Structure 1
Amino acid sequence: MALNVAIIGAGFGGLCMAIQLRKAGVTSYTIFEKAERLGGTWRDNTYPGAACDVPSHLYSYSFEQGHDWSRRYPRQPEILAYLDRCAGKYGVHRRLRLGAEVTAAVFDEAAGRWRVTTADGEHGPFDVVVSGVGQLNRPRLPDIPGLGEFEGTSFHSARWDHGHDLAGRRVAVIGNGSSAAQFIPRVAPVVARLDVYQRTPSWVIPKPDGAYGPGLRAAFRHLPPLRSANRRRVNRFIESVVYPALVDGWSRPLMTRRATEHLRKQVPDPALRARLTPAYPIGCKRIVLDDDYYPALTRPNVEVVTDPITRVTRHGIETAGGTLREVDTIIFATGFLTTDFLAPIEVVGRGGRRLGEAWKDGAEAYLGMAVPGFPNLFLLYGPNTNLGHNSIILMIEAQVRYIMGCLPLLGAHGPMEVRPAAMDAWRRALEGALARTVWQADCASWYKNAAGRVTNNWPGPAAAYRRITRSPRPGSFTFG
């Protein structure tokens, strides 16, 4: 299979693609990574307490389950070490170009191939481009008047300033999602005062975390069937219990009650508890798994501020009503630019069509992977493939398997482009399924674009997506 493949990004998606290419005997590929090391979101997010909310044995490749996980839920350093180990074991380091940020990918119709441009020049030609940039890689900063006037230190949680000592500081945290819930309990005990600015409360449920003892770690390490059985057990529970809560199934009242009891037990003050109680159905926004977040908010040096921010001053943050809280540090836990997908990369397809223009009303792709007018371009973790309940690794592996099935087809028949009719049918099916999910409720979340369209999430079980993408249907594509 003499194809030259460009992979953009060296996180879970890009590395999985590279490993499967290598296992299939394809060595003519290049991984372009803008940073100076691999790891994707697990390289970027080094804030205190950074961890995954998917169990360890499920948040790993199915073909590389042997990692000696120390905990039920993996923490950032261990996940990054896992990715390093996978890259080393399968020898993909040799095809990895670090510090090579892709700025453009242009399809050459005459040659039927892609040219990729990085900051240091043009590369290619490539027969195939696979995007592994993900959805959580570009921090989003709020548009608050006066932000540039602040004279203290400010940074986003995904760009944590480890050189800035927080001990004894007056700190403001803007945002209260999963990242904030993880680092606030680590920050609150060391700062003089912590103001947590909350626009909308999150649903929080207990996180059944804990370290694996030496005996169990040894068993998982030396008994692969036990390890695989645990992975299947966790997956079955998530698919059968957590997923139904997202589609108004039997478990939604159960999860709501569990979250409500968790809040009641951990926050004795009724006034604070009222501020932390969401007014939208559970699952509309990403559910937070944490045992330490609520207790941190009850500390005497912590205040949960629900008044809207009106402006940032030189020395603090002013809210509606004119209250000014002076701080010397602002930490943004405001998430990422999730709905822009490949931006700011300039992707140009057939006939000079630009991907940004094609997606002006919202990003979309056939099976989350292919876009009409952009031959031989495949997306990993693309539009409508994020999960609100399970491990994204399951989706990535399904997509990589699908792309690997496409390579012989395009190798034999020339450039491969999804038919507009196939895209239209997929859109209709997707919209019908999304209409039955909790994400359509009235809440602001990173699952939706500015117009309120759900562009990020897959509306079914992970198992359903894996069935749909088991093998490509040549009739959905044109060739040549």
Structure 2
Amino acid sequence: MAQPDHEVVVIGAGPGGIAAGVRLREAGIDDFAILERADEVGGSWRDNTYPGIGVDIPSIAYQYSFARNPDWTRVFARGAEVKAYHQDVADRFGLGKHLRFHTEVMREEWDEPGHLWRLHTADGPVLTARFVINAVGAFINPKDDPGIPGLAGFTGKIQRPTSWDHGYRHTGKRVAVIGTGASSVQITPSIAGEVAKLVVFQRTPVWCLPKPDFEIPPAARAALRLPGLMSLLHGIMLLGVELLLRAAVYAPLPIAARAMRLMDAGAKRAYRWYLRRVVRDEKVRRALLPGYGPLGKRPTLSNTFLRTFNRPNTELVTTPIERFTETGLRTADGARHEFDMIVLATGYELFSDPESYRPGAVVGRDGFDLGEFYAANRLQAYESVSVPKLPNRWMLVGPYSWTGTGWHALVEITSRHAVRAITEARRRGATSAEVRQSAHDTYHARVRKRGANIAYYFREQNRGLRTYYVNSHGDMPYIRPSTVLEARWRSRHFDLDDYEYKTGVH
């Protein structure tokens, strides 16, 4: 049997790839490579450098459990600081020698006789690996096409959150921001005071809540160095999330449905009151008021986004955009809006979208094509990480994986699962470890059953809402219907015999 180039290949050097690398080293596995298409680690925090970028959960919760950082300078850290944190973790845990930059994997192909994966890269070489951990994150690629005709004909400047051109000076320019999601909520107030005119085009209002952000004083940072204190604070946060998730997932549907209706109604009343306090214009307030519940789309946090619409140079437009023109945008009412710069805050290809899994990109045993399977059978994976007929392969951000916490908690859970399975295969002297169809099907049936309350919230209570939590199949594979502690426990205790182990002929 041919020996692969590496025992393990990790695809992606964002938060997931770093977590996988650390777990592999902890398990005593040193023959691995982390392939990264860019030239640095950090994933989204490397790519996104747009004005105002920062985390939207407290910094204490946005870090690895094995690499606590007592030196965050703000309650909600800014982007450059988060990027530096990931680089520091990679350096501290000796991942540098395992990193291979400018290496983009275009196709993963299982070699059954050799019990290895052939990884076809963009620049030609084919790398082989016994085991593959796909650590591509939740936000795979920005959407090149915003779904509006005429983009190529616009002669002004196009800015995207993932490739912000800091050399372009927008000061004194006429600027449009398309979208009101998380990146727009940060970009809009950051540039409003610098531009001559700012128009925000909104399709669906976003819930934007106050952000308790401030600098962490040196004395507080010193206190966070006390042994166990940061872990305790993080644990308290996780306990709150745990209690909410337990109630949301396990409550009988009639009780959960009533609670969700009361929650949404109460939240809307409170938000209407909040808007009256922060937005002066009544017409703008009405336009900014969501007609759906606060969990229907990703809630955002900002102390300045809503207030930006009080500025004389800022306008909110809710009329649908018909097309790009040479000098700006034309809306469905025939109005023409001229701009020097347009920001496309229009979203990403997500791990929860079946369209993100291209046919031919991942081909396993007996010609099994992951993209074709997901298109025809909906997204599914055992413990969100492995799929039958894809031996020796795990996804760190897979179907039904997000637990309502920070991404670091998620990728620690899934990377622990992957490394535990790899370790067991090595212990048995096996060259192939593939999840059994029966184990996969039993798990997926449980996921569908436990997701009943979540499905009710989106399909019934907030029916018709356009949200990335609901994919083109009408499913919610973004969200894992379990608690954080259950997911963490499962990663440590899943039945090792749920995998079938085989040894190739040498």
**TM bracket (short chain):** over 0.9
Q: State the partner residue of 2:252.
A: none
> Aligned to 1:234, what secondary structure does the other structure show?
helix
Unpaired runs of at least 5, structure 2: 250-255
Q: Provide the C-alpha distance between the structure 1 equivalents of 2:95 and 2:59, rounded to a whole number of angstroms.
A: 23
Mark the CA change 1:428 to 1:376 in structure 2 (over 3 Å): closer, same or farther. Answer: same
Q: Provide the C-alpha distance between the structure 2 equivalents of 1:360 and 1:379, rounded to a whole number of angstroms.
A: 18
Q: State the partner residue of 1:148.
A: 152
Q: State the partner residue of 1:280.
A: 292
Mark the CA change 1:237 to 1:405 in structure 2 (over 3 Å): closer, same or farther. Answer: same
Counterpart of 1:171, as a letter, is: V
Alignment pair present for 1:24 and 2:40: no
Q: Provide the C-alpha distance between the structure 2 equivalents of 1:179 and 1:345, rounded to a whole number of angstroms.
A: 32
Which of 445, 458, 473 is the matching residue for 2:480? 458
Q: Provide the C-alpha distance between the structure 1 equivalents of 2:360 and 2:194, rounded to a whole number of angstroms.
A: 40
Deviates more, 1:171-180 or 1:440-449: 440-449
Mark the CA change 1:225 to 1:261 in structure 2 (over 3 Å): closer, same or farther. Answer: farther
1:172 offset after TM fit, Å? 0.9
> Aligned to 1:359, what secondary structure does the other structure show?
helix
> Aligned to 1:466, what secondary structure does the other structure show?
helix
1:255 offset after TM fit, Å? 4.7
CA contact (8 A) 1:182 1:290 kept: yes
1:16 offset after TM fit, Å? 0.6
Q: Provide the C-alpha distance between the structure 2 equivalents of 1:243 and 1:252, rounded to a whole number of angstroms.
A: 16
Deviates more, 1:275-284 or 1:66-75: 66-75
> Aligned to 2:224, what secondary structure does the other structure show?
helix
Which of 9, 13, 25 is the matching residue for 2:12? 9
Alignment pair present for 1:116 and 2:126: no
Alignment size in residue pairs: 477
CA contact (8 A) 1:135 1:341 kept: no
Q: State the partner residue of 1:302.
A: 314
1:258 offset after TM fit, Å? 4.6
CA contact (8 A) 1:103 1:345 kept: no
Q: State the partner residue of 2:136.
A: 133
1:78 offset after TM fit, Å? 0.8
Counterpart of 1:240, as a letter, is: L
Alignment pair present for 1:426 and 2:443: yes
Alignment pair present for 1:161 and 2:165: yes
Counterpart of 1:352, as a letter, is: G
Alignment pair present for 1:173 and 2:208: no
1:256 offset after TM fit, Å? 4.5
Q: State the partner residue of 1:81.
A: 84
Deviates more, 1:404-413 or 1:253-262: 253-262
The Cα offsets for residues 44-76 of structure 1, whole Å up to 9 and x where unpaired, read as 111111111111111111011134111111111
Alignment pair present for 1:370 and 2:392: no
**TM-score, length-scaled by structure 1:** 0.94
The Cα offsets for residues 389-420 of structure 1, whole Å up to 9 and x where unpaired, read as 32121111111111121113222133111222
Counterpart of 1:224, as a letter, is: P
Q: Provide the C-alpha distance between the structure 2 equivalents of 1:242 and 1:229, rounded to a whole number of angstroms.
A: 20
1:383 offset after TM fit, Å? 1.4
CA contact (8 A) 2:245 2:482 kept: no
Mark the CA change 1:257 to 1:465 in structure 2 (over 3 Å): closer, same or farther. Answer: farther
Q: State the partner residue of 1:43.
A: 46
The ranges of structure 1 where at least 4 consecutive aligned residues each deviate by more than 4 angstroms after the TM superposition are 241-251, 253-258, 340-345
CA contact (8 A) 2:154 2:326 kept: yes
Mark the CA change 1:471 to 1:224 in structure 2 (over 3 Å): closer, same or farther. Answer: same
1:280 offset after TM fit, Å? 1.1
Which of 341, 356, 359 is the matching residue for 1:329? 341
CA contact (8 A) 1:204 1:262 kept: no
The Cα offsets for residues 408-462 of structure 1, whole Å up to 9 and x where unpaired, read as 3222133111222222222222222323123433211122222322222223332
**TM-score, length-scaled by structure 2:** 0.90
Mark the CA change 1:363 to 1:6 in structure 2 (over 3 Å): closer, same or farther. Answer: same
Counterpart of 2:487, as a letter, is: Y
1:359 offset after TM fit, Å? 1.2
> Percent identity of the aligned residues?
35
1:469 offset after TM fit, Å? 2.4
